[in-house]
Structure 1
Amino acid sequence: MENQNSGGRHRDREQSSSTSSSSRRSLKRKLDEEFDGRIDDQSPLDLHRDLVREVRAQVEILDSSFSSAEKDRASAKHAIGVLSELAKSEDIANVIVDCAAVPSLIRHLQAPPVSEGDSGPRLYEHEVEKGCAFTLGLLAVKPEYQQLIVDAGALPHLVDLLKRHKLNSRAANGVIKRAADAITNLAHENSSIKIRVRVEGGIPPLVELLDFADPKVQRAAAGALRTLAFKNDENKDQIVECNGLPTLILMLRSEDAAIHYEAVGVIGNLVHSSPSIKKQVLAAGALQPVIRLLSSYCSESKREAALLLGQFAATDSDCKVHIVQRGALQPLIQMLQSPDTQLKEMSAFALGRLAQDTHNQAGIAHSGAIEPLLKLLESKHEFLQHNSAFVLYGLVENEDTIADLVRFGGVQKLQDGEFIGQPTRDCVARTLKKLEDKIHGSVLSYLLRMMRVGEKKVQRRVALALAHLCNPDDQKTIFIDNDGLTLLLELLESTNSKHQRDSSIALCRLANKASSLSLMDAAPPSPIPQVYLGEQYVNNPTLADVTFLVEGKRFYAHRICLLASSDAFRAMFDGGYRERDAKDIEIPNIRWDIFELMMRYIYTGSIDVKLDIAQDLLRAADQYLLDGLKRLCEYAIAQDISVENVSLMFELSEAFNALSLRHACVLFILKNFDKLSVMPWYSQLIQRILPETRNYFVRALTRPDQMVI
């Protein structure tokens, strides 16, 4: 990642033993004292005017003091100190730029000409230049000022300051560091300035400074190179051509966290989208020191090292294997449990790349990665979620990892997770599809063994997973022969709401697999093939040989048609009942419109059952054992099942032995867990439907071709 120098926001406070106590106070504190006393008495406009006046005064001092005279050097140093303190505030930075301070600061980046006859040491040597570089670096934090500073001619002078390392003095080290920091901030996320730095010859001295004895200079140079290398292939190539790699790799081994952090950042930007440089970096021996950084006490270095390993792992299969063989797995997996979100994100990124190689998958899973990865799926950070999902996607390619994923409840987490980004949702969907394709043969056999002999928690997780993933052809083996159904029903009658919900969803999934259509949504069945007299004979006295009295009105019928329709009429006319020889038969408990519809069904085999009469018609159909009519009524009633009436509908199905309606109620209850579970009577309802739920699934999974729809 690109680096903008934040360290440049804090000015080093250098003190001299001869400095008075008042001058040893920081300039910022002095400025606070100067302005704070006037805040209460002045309006914001007055304060702004005073600020502008102050900045212009300092700029005028700079413009008039560009000489090697002692007085001018002291004045310039003081003026730059004031401006640098003011520049730490972004709002005041605007005033500094508006008051034309940038050209004056750039002019003082170079040492003034030496006065004739003055051969002694210069006063404040390097101090003025250092202060100017620092102030320009602060102004460059604001992107809108980067190009302005560069166009004003700052870069050539900053590059010249980098070359002062040959002077080998502490003061020179300070100005070099500030120059490198300023270049970092100027080039931050600015592609044109990155090019300008290279054109001005800034990269070779920065690479040379990587070998510098002062660690602060080393860090600053590495920070600048890190920024310059980000998404700029020409800069990357020049850094490599200047032989920067050996020193950078050596810096990875430094005990100074700030140094190896910057070094790993530079290397990361060099190898990003650059396969050839990546090969050179690996050939130069970077892999082991990068892996070593995974155990660093510096979280930033660990994060960058994990990111870099992920980039290395994109090269080829051999590199992925080497990363694992050299000990990267354990520290990466430990990082998954860090409280640092970015650390977890980068370790998951690296593991995701490693997990795409078949040689690594079982090792990652068996080293303890699955459980923390599943926990990270619950994160609210999109990239962390996605990286974790991508690792799991790679792991399930290996059949040896599937049992562990199921054991830790991974299928439920993948099914139920709230995933933020569409790429993550797509990745999870592909993972579940891959799992579904692998649930057979030895994988299924091992899962069945876990379901039989594992601890209860694991048994239930296996049953839930298989309900979602198994092939329909294996359902009887899993849920009937190996008691998977019993485990799901135990969860359903649990007092734990999550267990109930998981079971409801799993049973719905199982039902959908057992039948291409759920009972509730299925169309009513076609009539049973038989010969019907036809519509024209309904309540027609022609050839009628029996009359029914319904609500005082006569209904004409034909015994042959009634005998063929149901066992109830056969018993009535062929048995020893008094109706056998009666010409008029009274029907005391059915309304005329209901009786007429029932008879119309008997004569035609088909009627349109309206919801408002469906229950009364169901009662009549049950009384006269008209199974086909019952199913038509059940279908019509099932369309009206709701959260409010499902309990009554289930009672209705029991009262009239309406098996199809009963099954529709069961599936409705399972499907609408979230709405029903908040009802006070939900627990009692579950207890009531459990036997029928078991009956339904036993029937569905053993004789699906005979299911009543």
Structure 2
Amino acid sequence: MENQAKRSKQSSSSGRRSLKRKLEGDFEDDRKVSSPFSHDDDDAHQDLAPEVRTQVEILESTFSSTEADRASAKRAIHVLSELAKNEEIVNVVVDCGAVPALVKHLQVPSLGSEGDGGQMPYEHEVEKGSAFTLGLLAIKPEHQQLIVDAEALPHLVDLLKRHKTAQNSRAVNGVIRRAADAITNLAHENSSIKTRVRIEGGIPPLVELLEFVDAKVQRAAAGALRTLAFKNDENKNQIVECNALPTLILMLRSEDTAIHYEAVGVIGNLVHSSPNIKKDVLLAGALQPVIGLLSSSCPESQREAALLLGQFAATDSDCKIHIVQRGAVPPLIEMLQSLDAQLREMSAFALGRLAQVT
């Protein structure tokens, strides 16, 4: 049974998934972020409501291409993003109408005659700030649907393609990364939104971004695909159909621990309860780089690799033989001595699978 081992929940000091994405995998149910917003807290933060409303009003009145309006919008979004970083204030920000105003500024206003010589002032910066702030607001499940209902997803998907119509720059990379992170947070533990992302065409550009030159964009795209693949068969199939596997397997060999951690996580979610995809992954050559990650300096990657090998070992006896022949057993045994309880748990799971008679 796939639920023989339960992966312990990952914690984050900030609790914001956009800053530290949680493991999503074989042995845990969807998790809910718990941050009660008590009446006392509510009262304590209500004095911020006038300030939030002021910033929302600025956003509602500055959707134009003039430099003054773009600068005002950028400042207002920055204020809202700083407030949204505090989970106890997120409700106030949402209740004061920030979501539709922020969604509006995911779009680029028409460049009128008052524009700066054909150049959009603060190009990409306003949209990046809006995507980032919406991602912070999406930390609470009750806000995810509100943001999607405000039609944020089509605009976020458009932002994923920004590099195709704009010269590559740090600003372009930033807006793409924030859009991918926002999609990750919106779809987290929300099966209907995962499906909606696919319907809105979000998966092909995310797969394409796995090959992006900027490593931060690569990681963000992989993180979004990891979330979208979790317990969603149609999303899994489309990710594979978009030819993501060769790139993901290359990412497994990356020296950047964050990149190979996200890549092994995507693959793990793809193969979970999907025997056909599991075969595709093995045929694509994933086994050796996954075994290599057992010796990674990144404990999270080690855990994911051990878990994935346990999944591979359930395929057939030939696969078990290949796993053993390619050197997986010694590092798995070494992991049993780790002080990390989750490492011990995952290595024991993988070794147990290898020892089972099929």
TM-score by length of 2: 0.88
How far apart in 2 are the matches of 1:46 and 1:323? 58
Between the aligned partners of 2:245 and 2:239, the Cα distance in structure 1 is: 8
Aligned to 1:93: 90
The answer to whether residue 315 in structure 2 is matched with residue 305 in structure 1 is no
- For 2:149, the equivalent position in structure 1 comes to 151
Relative to structure 1, is the Cα distance of residues 278 and 342 closer, same or farther in structure 2, using a 3 angstrom cutoff? same
The alpha-carbon distance between structure 1 residues 45 and 264, as it changes in their structure 2 partners (threshold 3 A), is closer
Partner of 1:175: 175
**Which residue of the partner structure matches residue 73 of structure 2?**
76
Q: Contact 1:9 / 1:138 at 8 angstroms: preserved in 2?
A: no
- Matching residue within 87, 100, 105 for 2:102: 105
Q: Deviations over 1:10-57 (max 9, x none)?
A: 9xxxxxxxxxxxxxxxxxxxxxxxxxxxxxxxx988854430000000
* Residues 179/262 of structure 1: CA separation in 2 closer, same or farther (3 Å cut): same
Contact 1:9 1:88 in 2 (8 A): no
- 1:63 partner amino acid: E
Pick closer, same or farther for the CA change 1:47–1:57 going to 2, 3 Å. Answer: farther
Match of 2:18 in 1: 8
Give the counterpart letter for 1:243 in structure 2.
Answer: N
> Are residues 1:260 and 2:260 paired?
yes
Q: Which amino acid aligns with 2:18?
A: G
Q: Which amino acid aligns with 1:55?
A: V
1:115 aligns with 2:137: no
Deviations 1:255-284 (A, max 9, x none): 000000000000000000000000000000
Q: Is the CA contact (8 Å cut-off) linking 2:111 and 2:118 kept in structure 1?
A: no
CA separation of 1:144 and 1:44: change in aligned 2, threshold 3 A: closer
Structure 1: distance between partners of 2:119 and 2:213: 24
Q: Give the Cα–Cα distance (whole angstroms) in 2 for the partners of residues 48 and 236 of structure 1.
A: 42
Does the alignment pair 1:136 with 2:134? yes
C-alpha distance 9-300 of structure 1, shift in aligned 2 (>3 A):
closer
Does the aligned pair in 2 maintain the 1:320–1:357 contact within 8 Å?
Answer: no
Query: 1:614-659 CA distances to partner (integer Å, 9 max, x unpaired)?
Result: xxxxxxxxxxxxxxxxxxxxxxxxxxxxxxxxxxxxxxxxxxxxxx
* Displacement after TM superposition at 1:8 (Å): 2.5
Q: Map of 1:30-429 to 2, 5 A cutoff? A: 48-116=45-113, 118=115, 119-166=117-164, 167=166, 168-357=168-357
CA distance in 2 between partners of 1:49 and 1:187 (Å) = 29
User: In structure 2, how many angstroms separate the alpha carbons of the residues matched to 1:334 and 1:44?
Assistant: 47
| CA deviation string 1:194-239 (max 9, x = no partner) | 0000000000000000000000000000000000000000000000
8 Å Cα contact 2:63/2:105 also seen in 1: yes
CA distance 1:199–1:345, change in 2 (3 Å)? same
Q: Name which one, 1 or 2, has greater alpha-carbon Rg.
A: 1
Structure 1 position 169, deviation (Å): 1.6
Q: Which protein, 1 or 2, shows the higher relative CO under an 8 Å CA cutoff with sep ≥ 6?
A: 2
Are the counterparts in 1 of residues 65 and 114 from structure 2 also a CA contact under 8 Å?
Answer: no
Shift in Å, 1:120: 3.2
AA aligned opposite 1:340: D
How far off is 1:89 after superposition? 1.2
Deviation at 1:332, TM superposition (A): 0.4
Provide the C-alpha distance between the structure 2 equivalents of 1:8 and 1:309, rounded to a whole number of angstroms: 28
CA deviation after TM superposition for structure 1 residue 6, in Å: 4.3
1:544-590 Cα distance to aligned partner (Å, 9 max, x none): xxxxxxxxxxxxxxxxxxxxxxxxxxxxxxxxxxxxxxxxxxxxxxx
The alignment of Structure 1 onto Structure 2 pairs a total of residues equal to 326
SS of the aligned residue for 2:201 comes to: coil
Change (3 A) 1:144 1:45: closer
**How many angstroms apart in 2 are the aligned matches of 1:154 and 1:45?**
27
AA aligned to 2:143 is: Y
Contact 2:303 2:347 survives alignment (8 Å) = yes
Amino acid at match of 1:144: E
Across the aligned residues of Structure 1 and Structure 2, the Cα RMSD in angstroms comes to: 2.0
Cα displacement (A) at 1:123: 1.8
- Offset, 1:9: 4.1
Please give the secondary structure, in 1, of the residue aligned with 2:108.
coil
Structure 2 residue matching 1:91: 3-state secondary structure: coil
Q: Aligned runs of 1:280-679 on 2, under 5 Å? A: 280-357=280-357
Contact 2:46 2:92 (C-alpha < 8 Å) held by counterparts:
no
The Cα of 1:90 is off from its aligned counterpart by 1.4
In the alignment, the residues of structure 2 paired with residue 186 and residue 46 of structure 1 have an alpha-carbon distance, to the nearest angstrom, of: 27
Question: Is residue 66–residue 114 contact of structure 2 (8 Å, CA) maintained in 1?
Answer: no
Question: Secondary structure, in 3 states, of the residue corresponding to 1:8?
Answer: coil
> How far apart, CA to CA, are the structure 2 residues paired with 1:46 and 1:231?
39
Cα distance in 2 between the residues matched to 1:94 and 1:48: 10
SS at match of 1:68: coil
Displaced runs of 4 or more, over 6 A? 1-5, 43-46
Classify the secondary structure of the residue corresponding to 1:80: helix
One-letter code of the match for 1:259? I
How big is the shift at 1:91? 1.6
Q: TM-score, normalised by structure 1?
A: 0.45
How far apart in 2 are the matches of 1:251 and 1:273? 23
CA deviations over 1:654-676 (Å, ceiling 9, x no partner):
xxxxxxxxxxxxxxxxxxxxxxx
Unaligned 5+ segments in structure 2 are 1-6, 21-39
